[in-house]
């Protein structure tokens, strides 16, 4: 068989004759389509991610060794489609794989479809699975189309899993319905430390029924258990439907590994864990995250890097930061100078972010953060009985200390460089809020005023509101949170945010929405001249 020869084939799938894209077939035999049980399955669907003006990542998972093939076109009819040979999907990646499509036409609707070729019998093909995405315009192009995207975080936490009788993770369907250009997942894509039980009793006496798999019934420790968390979320029809229709941009936070992990994390007293080696858990969690997230991988110089810049055309530059991987240990957070102990994003990442912001020619610069700046997020106590802190804030309303020193330097340099139109988006705290940072009301005032918007969770317990820290003059303009902690999703306090940028006025509008898609709060920001 000559693997360089592409043959056009037609197969009957679900009673409909369709073209089988780009298969390499033996010259003497046509493709054979068999019964479902006898051919590769994509039970976890397909995803696209990290869209740029000329590219996007396409992801899927097989149930057996297979070759990934796809074709894409700018029309739903797949006229003049381009065929692409993808990677082998093997055991070492949990049968996941991706294609980083490049050379796509900027600003276009892209229709794609994926098929798997069984490696035990190359004439056996999976069903074709269709997907869709919309690319941003090129950075230097004229803005002719509005930009819309959604963001949120915190999926399937606190034991609230897939309740099919309730409609599953239906907030994902609400986000899909607003027809966004992409969805930004702000972290905690899984809750590796949160077991999911078959039944949970609700306050009114009724029962919440979860789908349960072996891997989610306990805390994740093995590589398969971490992988199983991602497989579990993709069992939900709402999640799969949105993933096939809307590109995603993922970042991570703590629950992809375990709660509040840092260099000071100690599991020795946690009886749920038989594996106490936190670095080993981080390694397994990192591998599984990179296998399942539809993100574009970086070069081998730092192949596991999560922070990245994703240009979204003349109206928007998106900077996805990583507030987890480079931090020092969670501590009292009161250091008087910047050290490795007080690091949060770390000097290389801060330098990268400042350089990208300075170079940006787009109107709006959105910093996608996995944690809020001035909300107090505690992490127990240290050996001396002092409070430990998980995020930037340290509960001290005075001048910057600890991790606040790094944030103060970043905000000061943004001001000194004259960078305008910077907006922060985040999740993490399991409620929704709009925060205005006012230097006139801050203890540290050498920065330009800016907004931070918070939204979440996605099918997890609702918490908050958190106490605030006054160092950077944060003003709570709006917030909605539960009266009781770990409120069930049935209370409706599940939230996502929607961002709209008008191509004509260049104004950016943020709308905070709930589980039903209802608008709770709206803020429109006019662009400032650099």
| DSSP conformational letter for 94 | T
CATH topology of 7-134 equal to that of 147-525?
no
Non-local (6+) Cβ contacts of 94 within 8 A are: 61, 224, 227, 288, 291
- The CATH number corresponding to 147-525 among 1.10.760.10, 1.10.3720.10, 3.60.21.70, 3.40.30.10 equals 3.60.21.70
Q: Is a pLDDT exceeding 90 seen at residue 17? A: no
Q: Is a pLDDT exceeding 70 seen at residue 349? A: yes
Q: Which helix (H) or strand (E) holds 131?
A: strand 129-134
Name residue, tokens 């093909």: 125
Q: What does the pLDDT read at residue 87? A: 98
Secondary structure class of 415 (helix, strand, coil): helix
Q: Is a pLDDT exceeding 60 seen at residue 56? A: yes
Q: Is a pLDDT exceeding 80 seen at residue 168? A: yes
| 63-92 average pLDDT score | 97
Q: What does the pLDDT read at residue 25? A: 32
| 209-235 average pLDDT score | 98
| DSSP conformational letter for 407 | H
> How does the average pLDDT of the chain come out, rounded?
93
| pLDDT tens readout for residues 186-200 | 999 999 999 999 999
Name residue, tokens 């801050």: 442
| pLDDT tens readout for residues 403-430 | 999 999 999 999 999 999 999 999 999 9
| 41-45 average pLDDT score | 98
* Listed range (14-23, 88-97, 116-125, 341-350) with the worst mean pLDDT: 14-23
Give whole-number Cα distances, 70 to 80, 113, 256, 352, in Å. Answer: 14, 6, 30, 34
Q: What is the dihedral of CA 380, 382, 386, 387, to 10 degrees?
A: -30
Classify strands 129-134 and 147-152 as parallel, antiparallel or unpaired.
Answer: unpaired
Q: What does the pLDDT read at residue 27? A: 25
Residue predicted with more confidence, 144 or 48: 48
* Closest CA relative to residue 219, chosen from 192, 199, 189: 192
Is the full-model pTM beyond 0.85?
yes
DSSP codes of every residue in 218-277: S---SHHHHHHHHHHHTTSHHHHHHHHHS-EEE---STTTSTT-STT---TT-TT-S---
Percent of the chain residues past pLDDT 70, beyond the cut: 93
Q: What does the pLDDT read at residue 141? A: 86
| pLDDT tens readout for residues 513-523 | 999 999 999 99
User: Regarding the domain delimited by 7-134, which CATH topology (the fold level of the hierarchy) does it fall under?
Assistant: Immunoglobulin-like (2.60.40)
Phi, then psi, of 308 in degrees rounded to 5: -165, 160
Domain boundaries, the chain: 7-134, 147-525
| 140-168 average pLDDT score | 95
| 466-482 average pLDDT score | 98
Q: What does the pLDDT read at residue 35? A: 60
* Listed range (14-28, 31-45, 136-150, 239-253) with the worst mean pLDDT: 14-28
Classify strands 129-134 and 450-454 as parallel, antiparallel or unpaired.
Answer: unpaired
| 379-395 average pLDDT score | 93
Q: What does the pLDDT read at residue 530? A: 74
- Tokens read off for 464: 């908050």
| 381-397 average pLDDT score | 93
Quick one: pLDDT band at residue 1, thresholds 50, 70, 90? very low
Q: Is a pLDDT exceeding 60 seen at residue 93? A: yes
Quick one: pLDDT band at residue 341, thresholds 50, 70, 90? very high
Q: What does the pLDDT read at residue 384? A: 87
What is the spatial distance between Cα 394 and Cα 371, in angstroms, rounded to a whole number?
Answer: 14
Percent of the chain residues past pLDDT 90, beyond the cut: 90
């Amino acid at each position: 068989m000559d693997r360089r020869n592409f043959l056009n084939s037609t197969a009957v799938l679900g009673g409909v004759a369709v073209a089988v894209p780009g298969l390499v077939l033996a010259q003497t035999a046509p493709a054979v389509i068999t019964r479902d049980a006898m051919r590769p399955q994509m039970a976890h669907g397909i995803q696209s991610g990290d869209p740029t003006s000329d590219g996007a990542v396409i992801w899927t998972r097989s149930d057996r060794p297979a070759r990934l093939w796809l074709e894409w076109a700018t029309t739903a009819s797949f006229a003049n489609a381009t065929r692409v040979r993808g990677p082998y999907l093997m055991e070492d990646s949990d049968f996941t794989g991706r294609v980083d499509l490049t050379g796509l036409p900027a600003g276009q609707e892209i229709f794609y479809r994926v098929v798997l070729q069984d490696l035990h019998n190359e004439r056996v093909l999976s069903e074709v699975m269709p997907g869709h995405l919309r690319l941003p315009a090129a950075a230097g192009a004229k803005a002719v189309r509005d930009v819309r995207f959604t963001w949120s975080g915190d999926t399937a936490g606190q034991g609230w899993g897939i309740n099919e009788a309730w409609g599953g993770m239906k907030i994902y369907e609400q986000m899909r319905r607003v027809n966004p250009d992409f969805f930004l997942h702000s972290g905690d894509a899984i809750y590796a430390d949160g077991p999911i039980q078959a039944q949970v009793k609700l306050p009114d006496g009724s029962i919440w029924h979860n789908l349960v798999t072996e891997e989610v019934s306990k805390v994740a420790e093995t590589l398969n258990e971490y992988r199983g968390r991602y497989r579990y979320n993709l069992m939900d029809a709402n999640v799969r439907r949105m993933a096939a229709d809307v590109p995603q941009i993922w970042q991570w936070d703590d629950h992809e590994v375990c709660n509040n992990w840092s260099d000071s994390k100690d599991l020795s007293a946690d009886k749920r864990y038989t594996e106490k080696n936190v670095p080993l858990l981080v390694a397994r969690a990192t591998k599984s995250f990179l296998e399942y997230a539809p993100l574009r991988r970086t070069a081998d110089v730092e192949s596991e890097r999560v922070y990245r810049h994703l240009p979204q055309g003349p109206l928007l530059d998106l900077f996805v930061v990583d507030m987890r991987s480079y931090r020092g240990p969670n501590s009292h957070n009161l250091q008087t100078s910047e050290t490795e102990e007080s690091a949060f994003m770390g000097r290389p990442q801060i330098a990268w972010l400042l350089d990208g912001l300075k170079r940006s020619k787009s109107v709006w610069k959105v910093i996608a953060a996995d944690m809020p700046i001035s909300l107090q997020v505690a992490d127990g106590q240290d050996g001396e009985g002092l409070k430990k802190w998980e995020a930037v804030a340290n509960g001290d309303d005075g001048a910057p200390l600890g991790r606040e020193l790094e944030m103060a330097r970043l905000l000061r340099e943004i001001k000194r460089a004259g960078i305008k139109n910077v907006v922060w988006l985040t999740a993490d705290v399991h409620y929704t809020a709009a925060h205005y940072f006012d230097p006139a009301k801050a203890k540290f005032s050498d920065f330009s005023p800016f907004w931070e918007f918070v939204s979440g969770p996605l099918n997890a317990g609702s918490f908050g509101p958190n106490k605030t820290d006054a160092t950077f003059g944060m003003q709570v303009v709006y917030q909605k949170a539960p009266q009781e902690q770990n409120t069930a999703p049935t209370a409706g306090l599940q939230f996502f945010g929607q961002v709209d940028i008008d191509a004509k006025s260049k104004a950016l509008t943020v709308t905070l929405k709930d589980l039903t898609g209802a608008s709770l709060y709206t803020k429109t920001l006019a662009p400032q001249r650099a």
